[in-house]
Structure formats: structure tokens, C-alpha cells
Structure 1
Amino acid sequence: MSPALLPVALAVLSLSAQAANIYTCVSAKGQRITSDRPIAECLDRSQELRNTDGSVKQVVPPAMTAEERASHEERLRQEMAAASAQRDAIRLDRNLLSRYPDEARHQRARKAALEPLNTALAATERRLAELAHGQKRLQEEAEFFKGRELPRDLKNKFGQNQVTLQAQQDAGQNHLAEIKRINTSYDQELTRLKRLWAGAAPGSFSLSASSSAAR
């Protein structure tokens, strides 16, 4: 072999030898793992570095204690969660901008979301007025029996009217609570959108105000 080629040949042989190294270990879950590089799952335990013939070339000591490994995994978990939250924030902000390019579009969406609830609330209020009027008529009818026991039919009417009145009052409270929830959601969206319309980068602030974008 030409002397000039000898260094190149030695370098190739060295790289080949490195590539032939095989790391093996048994993980904390009892799994035997093999890799051509140090094994992340076994950082807290010894790893065997074997030759191509299976013989042990070297025993690599643990890179981390169990406590260090747990801390390392927790940091990785937190970093992954933060990265996932950031991606979600960017996606939600882009969805908001696509859905609401301006404030007028957002106001129309709010109005459309509230319209069926406002209609239902108005109907409930009319029904409550009718029931209140019916209650007054029943009370006037009961005046004829002052000092005496009310007829069973009249008692039943009082009871039915009261049950229906309570049901309508509950429905009205539910409508009001849902109207408040929707308005709060749109208010949070609008605050976020104003910052985005002003040029803030999607995902540049907290996810909390954009959670309603998933509606």
C-alpha cells in the first residue's frame, strides 16, 4: 500500500471499529435493549459495550443516579409539555385570526351565539308572567273559600302552578348563566384578538384567554 494512503486506511478502520461497537443493557422495566450508541433508558445503570463477536469490550458505568435520572426525566417531561402548549397556542391564535380577521366579524359571531339564548330567555320571561297572572287568579278564587278548606281541584291547580313556576325560574337562571359564560368567552377572545391584530406573534402569550377558540 502506498505510504500516502496509510493514514486514510487507518482512519477508515478506526471508524469501522467504532461503528461495530454494540451497547447492551437491561432497563428498569426489565427489557434488554441493544443500540450502536449509549442507551438513554439505561443512564442510571451499567451498560456493556460489546465487540461484533459478542465479547464484552468494556462496561460503561451509570451516567446518572436513580435520583438524577428521575430529575432528568421530569425536566424532559416539563420541556415537552411546554413545547406542546406553545404549539397549541400558535395553532389556536392562527385559528382565531382566520375566523375573525376584524372586530366586526367577531361582534357578529357573538351576536349569533347569544341570539338563541336571548330568544329562549324572552320566552321564559313571558311564561313567568303568565304563571304569575295565573297565580293571582287562583288566589282570587281562593278568597271565596276564606276560612274553609280549599277544594281538591283548586289545591291541585296551586301545586301545579308552583311546580311550573319553579321550573321556569330555574330555566331563566340557566339561560342567564350561559349568556354570561358566552360573553366572558368572547370578551377574552376579543382581548387576545386585539393584541394579534396589533401585530403580536401567534403563541406569544398565555393560552388561557384563547381556550374558547376551540368552540
Structure 2
Amino acid sequence: MSVTESEAVRRLLPCILWLALGAAYAQVPGAKIYSCVTADGRRLTSDRPIPECKGTEQIVHRNDGSVRAKLPPAQSPEERAAEELRQRELAGKRAAQADAARHDRNLLTRFRNRTQHDVARTAALDDLVKATELSVKRLSDLARERKSLDEEAEFYKGKPLPPKLRQQFDVNDAATEAQRHFISQQNAEKVRVNIRYDMELARLEKLWAGALPGSLGPPPNARDVEAAVNAALAASAPPAGSAPASGR
């Protein structure tokens, strides 16, 4: 056999083997034939994944030789870790978008227009307003009591106050401070309610205008609301040292 003939046979051998293997497996229902080209250019076939080609793509053939699937190159541990991280991030983004879409659909179900949202805001603020009004009235009553105590204390100028009168002053001071603290809490809660409804309204206006549920990013969470509340309260707080002094 000449050199040329030997070279031709060597080149045809992988094809002959592939055809022979295909013919053998053609009689086996569902059989798979794997083929690949190694890094050094060799064409290999097998009835199972080929270890020599773990770093290159492998093609899975059907009995008739058509392509059934393609196996990507095996990944290194670092590549697998990076891919797993990427898949987790994608899954997290998909879950967040699904949550946002559910949130937006719920908003649209609850509030079909601005009027409905305004009514809900007013109802949420109503109890806070009433509680604040009661505390303001109580402060007014305490102020009148304090005036009477001050007038009575005038009789003891330069003398120690009687224990009973001193106790009445202490009780009045404590009650006044408690009411002021309660009013401060109620005012902060009113700010919180308004900010939450403002954030909802800003999102609803985009949804009413045609934005798709879930397309506006994640909805504001409790941390976002609290950050906005703290900023609003800080902006409205009086300068340090500006509060009027109290005392007898």
C-alpha cells in the first residue's frame, strides 16, 4: 500500500468507525452516539460522553445521525461557582420582578383612581388626628391646672412649698410631658402615613398611565419609608436649644 493510500485510509477511518457505530446503534431504540473533536484535532465517537472531550463541545446524535443535543464543555470549579452565582442572581431578579408585579396588581385592584386613594389616606389619618386633638385638649387642661398651682405657690414665696403642693406640681409636669411626647409620636406617625401614601400614589400614577405591573422596579419597603420619615422629621425639627424652658 502506498503512502498516499495509507494517508487516505487514516483520514477516512474516523468516518468509517462513526458509520459502523451508527449502524450498530441504529437497531437500539433511543441509543445515543457522542462525537467530538479533541483539542489536538482528533475526531472521536462513543456511546457515552467522551472523557477526552470534556473541555470541548460534544454532539449527541440520534440513530439516524441527526443532531439530538449538544453538550457544552465541562466547567472548571471556578467557572461552575461563577455560573451558579449568576443563576442565583438571575433567579433573585426574576423573583423580585414577580413580587413587584403582584404588588402592582394589588395596588391597581385596591385603587382604580386618585379619589379612592385619597379616601384611603384620609381614613388612615383620621384616628391619628382625633387622638392628637384629645391630647391637645388635655394639654390645655393641664395648663389651666398649672396656672392655678402657680397662683397658689405665690402664697409661699421665700418659703418651702408644702409637700402636697409640690407633689401636685410634679404630677402636672409629668402629665404635661407625657402628652407632649404622645403628640410628637402621633405627628411622626402622620408623617409616616402621608409618606407611605405619597410613595404609593407616585407608583400608581405611572400604573394608571399604562406602565406594566412589575416594570417599575421593586416597590418601596419599610426601610425606604423610615428613611424618608427620618429625613422629613429632621428637616422639620426646631434648631437645638430653641425649645422654651419650663419650670417653676
- TM-score, normalization by structure 1: 0.70
Gaps of 5+ in 1: 1-6, 19-36, 44-61
1:84 maps to amino acid: A
User: Is the aligned partner of 1:178 residue 2:193?
Assistant: no
**Matches of 1:147 and 1:211, distance apart in 2:** 56
How many angstroms apart in 1 are the aligned matches of 2:167 and 2:90? 66
Q: Hey, what does 2:203 align to over in structure 1?
A: 192
Shift of 1:67: 2.4
5+ long unaligned stretches in structure 2 = 1-21, 34-47, 55-72, 224-248
Q: CA deviation at 1:85?
A: 0.4
Query: Residue 65 of structure 1 corresponds to which residue in structure 2?
Result: 76
Q: Which residue of 1 aligns with 2:117?
A: 106
Match of 2:146 in 1: 135
When normalised by structure 2's length, the TM-score is 0.61
Look up the equivalent residue of 1:114 and give its one-letter code. Answer: L
How do 1:8-157 residues align onto structure 2 when only pairs under 5 Å count? 10-13=25-28, 15-16=30-31, 63-157=74-168
Contact 2:100 2:214 in 1 (8 A): yes
Residue type of the partner of 1:203?
G
Alpha-carbon distance, 1:210 to partner: 7.2
**Alpha carbons of structure 1 residues 193 and 210: separation in structure 2 relative to 1, 3 Å:** farther
1:164 aligns with 2:175: yes
The alignment's C-alpha RMSD in Å is 2.6
- Structure-2 separation of matches of 1:117 and 1:172: 9
| Residue 10 of structure 2: aligned partner | none
From the CA coordinates, give the structure whose radius of gyration is larger: 2
Q: What amino acid is the match of 1:132?
A: A
Contact 2:135 2:183 in 1 (8 A): yes
**Secondary structure at the residue paired with 2:31?**
helix
What's the counterpart of residue 28 of structure 1?
none
Q: Give aligned pairs, total.
A: 166
The aligned amino acid for 1:68 is E
Match of 1:77, SS?
A: helix
Instruction: Return the alpha-carbon distance in structure 1 between the equivalents of residues 78 and 166 of structure 2.
Output: 74
The AA in structure 2 aligned to 1:73 is: E
Contact 1:188–1:210 under 8 Å retained in 2: no
Matched residue, 2:232: none
